[in-house]
Every structure is written in structure tokens, then in C-alpha cells.
Amino acid sequence: MQENIYEALRASHEVQRTLCRKLVRARPAGDTRRRLCRELAEELAAHAAAEERYLYVPMLMDDMGLDPSRHALSEHHEIDEEVEKLSSLDPSGEAWLTHAKKLSKLVHHHLKEEEKKFFQISGKILSDVQKSQLATKYRKDYRRMHAVLAAK
């Protein structure tokens, strides 16, 4: 059986959850916090770009998907802002840990909401063929975005 969009997205969601856990547990000494912050930022950006193109856009085309897609997009924006804030802070400071925890909370909330609500709504809108085609397109763009972001 061919992979569907939800399976593809959940794989990235698990990477995000793992990176968030590592981020908030990382010790201030050394370069670990900075490295994990970069890894998480890249993962979040690659995932969001591909997800917005290959799940949110098709959902925006249906009245039932309009409000949930807008809400999810606003959460992506909120996460982006927190990543930017965290990246600007000294990784050895207390403010850094406070913002790392805030980012982790935002990411976990978004992923849970997406998997428990958004996937169910979109599942009613998209056909099985679409779900499979979108998975292929998402995976390709996700890999491309990782390459683009890693080159920066």
C-alpha cells in the first residue's frame, strides 16, 4: 500500500518532537543548544513549507477546510517567530531555556491539534488518490527544502 500524506507528515512530526525534547534538556555548556536549535529550525521550516504547499493549499480550496487551514497557518507563523527569538538569544542564558520551553510547547500543541483535528477534517475532503499523490509531492518538497536550508 502506498504512503498517504498523514503518514509522511507524522514522520516529520516525530522528528520535531524528538528535537524539542532534546532542546529543552540540553546543557548550556558547549555548542549542543545552538546545534539543536539550528536542526529544529531547519526541520520546522522544511516541514512547514512542504506541508503548507501540499496539505494546506488543497484544504484552502474547500469551504470546510478554510478555517482550520488558516488556524494552522497562524500557528506556523507563531512557531516561526519563536524560533527567530530563540535563535537570537545566548544559549547559555536563562532566557534561552524559557524560550526553548515555550517553543517546545507551541510545537507540541500544534502537532497534537493537527493530528487530532486537522487530519480528520482533511480526511473527509481529500480522496485516497489525492492523499497518496500529496504524500509523494510533500516528501519531494520536504527533501528539497532541507537541502535549500542546509545550504544557507
Instruction: Please tell me the total number of residues recorded for the chain in this structure.
Output: 152
Count CA atoms within 13 Å of residue 72 on its CB side. Answer: 27
Read off the pTM. Answer: 0.95
- At residue 104, does pLDDT exceed 70? yes
- At residue 1, does pLDDT exceed 80? no
> Which run of H or of E encompasses 48?
helix 32-51
Number of domains in the chain: 1
Looking at the chain, the whole-number percentage of residues with pLDDT higher than 70 is 99
Per-residue pLDDT averaged across 146-150, rounded? Answer: 95
For residue 26, what pLDDT is reported?
95
Q: Measured between alpha carbons, how far apart are the two ends of the chain, in Å?
A: 36
Q: CATH number for the domain including 119? A: 1.20.120.520
- At residue 14, does pLDDT exceed 80? yes
Give the residue numbers spanning the domain of 86.
5-150
